[in-house]
Structure 1
Amino acid sequence: MNGLLLTDGYKTGHHQQYPKGTEQVYSNWTPRSNTYAPEGCDKVLSFGQQYVITWLHDYFETNFFSKPKEQVCDEIEEELSMYLGTPYDGTHYRKLHDLGYLPIRVKSLPEGVEVPIRVPMLTVVNTHKEFYWVTNFLETILSTMLWQPMTSASIALLYKRIFKKWVLKTDAENLPFIDFQGHDFSMRGMGGLQSALSSGLGHAAVFLGSDTLPVISGMRKYYNAEGFVIGSVNATEHSVMCAGTKDDEIGTFRCLMNTYPNGILSVVSDTWDLWKVLTSYLPILKEEILGRDGKLVIRPDSGDPVDIICGTSQKMDGSTPQEKGVVELLWETFGGTVNEQGFKVLDSHIGAIYGDSITTERAENICQRLHDKGFASTNVVLGIGSFTYQFKTRDTFGFAMKATSVVVNGERREIFKDPITDDGVKKSAKGLVKVIKEDNEYALVDQVTEEEEKEGELKVIYEDGRFRENVNLQTIRERINNSI
């Protein structure tokens, strides 16, 4: 696709609509509201800027600047003439091609830090007077690509905070477990490959467990990741279980354990009757399971996650499998240990994972109810899927990129929007902006001078086709973990 098509249709005429003599357009990317975010998401995790700017740079290099000018510019003029129903003059595009790079300066807050609502996380400004139109020409693609990695990373961090809170209460010596307690199962339900990658990168900035394999290449390409990036385990799906026979599901379990005599093996266990698996098959297989050099993980995949894992009874007094739930039933068969904090930890050869329709609220409830029944929260892993990551939009945190300053005929003008019909969410900053850090908290200062704008926590990461201040995955993860 021609790089010049990476925008909204109405952007194609804005170069003619700015005041005569416009020389600069300065915009910022800001989360404006958390009204639609999960409870507890009071801040936004800064993540994805390097990925998005690198992708944008590479795309324009490949699909615009490196192609013959007449080819790409004639093409866009022909397409836009048909699109707009009137002859389109693409002289400004031809001049951009002659320049040979994107004439913008991008400043960003560090990736891996949390930012309060209404604090800008990114600024973009043109570096050549002639290309004032480029800043907001790029607004659409930047918005398209930035909101999802930031949103998913922010929600992943909320999950990790939930897990940390409960592991400290129930199994503190096993704190590193939380790096893998939230596992990304979302790829199949995302809005396409790029959505899966964007969201998956956000998850993997926070957690180490993921089944979204494109994340590995993405982290290596965009965040200089070395060595281990994400991990998972050998695991079945329903087709595997159904390919055996319902009458010999225990034989399927046995075959799987013989295939994988070592390491973690996750087996989907509710293809037919989860409760029969837990109360009949696993007791028969007990010695074989305990004899493996590894852990067998039982994976339910249907029903209410909280009730399935914890049981419908709030205490250890249930009489039916449904009242007891998966963890209590596994304890009855395999036992385990009681840790120093007084909570039950399943034998190391057995465990549980649930990955369907998990939400932050359900994660909290599962940990709470396990605690109330005397079980450590580390007895279960939760798969976080598209119900969490795709069931979100740009409005989850009210992200928007808005121009707040222009230069016209050498005169700087502070501009802003504040619709009288709005509730205040769409009110923008005014003029040039600076982000400061006071008492370990980021804060916005707007209407600053040009010299003041050069100061503060927003640092140049890209300018005139060149990258500055690259960050790697390890640094981002360290910042995130230090924040919780």
Structure 2
Amino acid sequence: MAQPCCGNLLLITDSYKVSHHKQYPPNTHTVYSYFESRGGVYPETVFFGLQYILKKYFVGCVVTKEKIAEAKAVYDAHLGPGIFNEEGWLYIVEKHNGRLPIRIKAIPEGTVVPYKNVLFTVENTDPNCYWLTNYLETILVEVWYPMTVATQSRAFKEVIAKYLSETADNLEGLPFKLHDFGFRGVSSVETAALGAASHLVNFKGTDTIAGIVMARDYYSCPMAGFSIPAAEHSTITVWGRDKEVEAYRNMVTQFPNGMVACVSDSYNIWEACGKMWGEELKALVEDRGKRDVGPLVIRPDSGDPPTTVLKVLNILGEKFGTQMNSKKYKMLPPYIRVIQGDGINYDMVGKILTHMKENGWSADNVAFGSGGSLLQRVNRDTQKCAYKCSYALVDGKNVNVFKEPITDMGKKSKKGRLTLEHDNGQWSTTQEGTGNPDKDQLVVVYENGSLIKDWTFDEVRARAEIELLK
């Protein structure tokens, strides 16, 4: 069976880049480029995911004569003979044993940096390979995806933490307040792995197994996320509508210890909460509290989320009782909780929590599940990610490279060699080689085929933690 192109780095680029080695000025020796978030939805970005790309695609001997031959055949047919830089790639095999003569400096993963700052730089270390720096742009820019998911997930965490601070006794439950339901809602298994791991930078709840495997294999984390037994509609509706209560009874008896979640809107969510859970099965639910084995979590999965969540809480409160916490907000008994997993995005979480607060309910009664909105409803423009050349050495002369399109000054690029500095809590990118190297927060993470920094998931999480918890 043929191997996918991801097994050949030479094929992981945009078509036009294959011709770029012919387009630089004579006697070009160095090309230096950088990656940044030029703006976007969120004013700060969580840098994450570059290490995965480097380990998977860049480390070790990644260029061979066999891969060059494969690429030549593809590009000769695709672009026409004589375009592909066969000589340049063979030079890397013969001179560097197939290891990429490239240096990458990056901000440590997990660092939270305001947008419009450099996040990593790339340059060739062999003057004969000046063309390589931007050939690699395509795969390197794909860091936009894990970075953006981590950024969005952290924004969720901040808004949930805000409402917990205002309406709950503590923030102990915060790491499990946003659960990843996104595996089926993304475009590929690799997307699921990257996106789920990015979410786990901020939270510890996930149903996307690919993410915990990625965190284990690429960030030295034995177990990054956790889940619980949970029902889906088929495991409830297969019992038939007349035996719906028996389906619920089966859930709490099959899983007598530990948290268990049960979707309860297959027919009539109000009846399920009030009559079935609140009356017929009430003793079984209360028994979980007596044994202190973990709560039953009721999951509504349809309707207007703010309205539905509040009504579910009110019904459960009427049936099981409530108590006031130290902030004077209502809490259900500890053996019963609610998770809203339908229609959850960043804005909706705020609407639900606002509605709960206005009606006297603590945010600690609920958790959220998010799927496609968490892992898929983002793109490169969410944080306006871009990779641009800013410096070159041509014919022995330093050249500050930049673009400044008159039609869109938001795309104006940075000039020269860059440093990312952090003074008195403020981040700034210094251009044109005028920065202080001793203050530069960018560190060498990859050089000449070797991974120089190997960040652990614990280190990433510590850097990304919200200020409230640091």
Shorter-chain TM-score tier: over 0.9
Partner-residue secondary structure (3-state), 2:104: strand
Q: Which position in structure 1 is the counterpart of 2:182?
A: 186
Deviation at 1:45, TM superposition (A): 1.1
Deviation at 1:411, TM superposition (A): 1.3
Structure 1's consecutive aligned runs of 4 or more residues displaced over 6 angstroms after TM superposition are none
2:146 corresponds to which of 144, 149, 163: 149
- For the pair 1:250 / 2:248, whether they are aligned, the reply is no
Q: Which position in structure 2 is the counterpart of 1:47?
A: 48
List per-residue Cα deviations over 1:26-84 (Å, max 9, x = no partner).
000000121xx2xxx211111112222222225x74xx43x5x1x22222112111101
Partner-residue secondary structure (3-state), 1:356: coil
Q: Which position in structure 2 is the counterpart of 1:322?
A: none
List per-residue Cα deviations over 1:200-240 (Å, max 9, x = no partner).
111000001111111111111211114x4101110011111
Equivalenced residues, count:
454
Separation in structure 1 between the aligned mates of residue 363 and residue 332 of structure 2, nearest angstrom: 11
Structure 1 gaps, min length 5: 311-324
Q: How does 1:185-334 map to 2 (within 5 A)?
A: 185-226=181-222, 228-282=223-277, 283-292=279-288, 293-310=293-310, 325-334=311-320
Classify 1:334/1:459 alpha carbon distance in 2 versus 1 (closer, same or farther; 3 Å).
Answer: same
Deviation at 1:455, TM superposition (A): 5.0
Q: Which position in structure 1 is the counterpart of 2:443?
A: 459
Separation in structure 1 between the aligned mates of residue 419 and residue 294 of structure 2, nearest angstrom: 53
Q: Which position in structure 2 is the counterpart of 1:321?
A: none
Deviation at 1:85, TM superposition (A): 2.6
Q: How does 1:44-443 map to 2 (within 5 A)?
A: 44-58=45-59, 61=61, 64-65=62-63, 67=64, 69=65, 71-89=66-84, 90-98=86-94, 99=96, 100-144=98-142, 146-173=143-170, 175-226=171-222, 228-282=223-277, 283-292=279-288, 293-310=293-310, 325-422=311-408, 424-443=409-428
Separation in structure 1 between the aligned mates of residue 32 and residue 438 of structure 2, nearest angstrom: 13
- For the pair 1:480 / 2:448, whether they are aligned, the reply is no
CA contact (8 A) 2:169 2:325 kept: no
Aligned-pair identity (%)? 33
CA contact (8 A) 1:336 1:348 kept: no
Partner-residue secondary structure (3-state), 2:381: helix
Separation in structure 2 between the aligned mates of residue 434 and residue 172 of structure 1, nearest angstrom: 43
What is the CA RMSD across the aligned residues, in angstroms?
A: 1.5
Counterpart code for 2:447: E
The TM-score, its normalising length taken from structure 2, stands at 0.93
Structure 2 gaps, min length 5: none
Separation in structure 1 between the aligned mates of residue 454 and residue 72 of structure 2, nearest angstrom: 36
Separation in structure 2 between the aligned mates of residue 136 and residue 80 of structure 1, nearest angstrom: 18
Partner-residue secondary structure (3-state), 2:26: coil
Task: Name whichever of 328-337 and 390-399 sits farther off.
Answer: 328-337
Classify 1:104/1:53 alpha carbon distance in 2 versus 1 (closer, same or farther; 3 Å).
Answer: same
Deviation at 1:437, TM superposition (A): 0.5
Separation in structure 1 between the aligned mates of residue 275 and residue 132 of structure 2, nearest angstrom: 66
Q: Which position in structure 2 is the counterpart of 1:315?
A: none
Separation in structure 2 between the aligned mates of residue 197 and residue 272 of structure 1, nearest angstrom: 34
Partner-residue secondary structure (3-state), 1:172: coil
Separation in structure 2 between the aligned mates of residue 355 and residue 471 of structure 1, nearest angstrom: 32
Counterpart code for 1:483: E
CA contact (8 A) 1:113 1:483 kept: no
Separation in structure 2 between the aligned mates of residue 403 and residue 176 of structure 1, nearest angstrom: 45
Partner-residue secondary structure (3-state), 1:294: coil
List per-residue Cα deviations over 1:408-446 (Å, max 9, x = no partner).
122110010111111x22100011111110221211110
Separation in structure 2 between the aligned mates of residue 442 and residue 172 of structure 1, nearest angstrom: 34
CA contact (8 A) 1:181 1:380 kept: yes
Classify 1:168/1:454 alpha carbon distance in 2 versus 1 (closer, same or farther; 3 Å).
Answer: closer
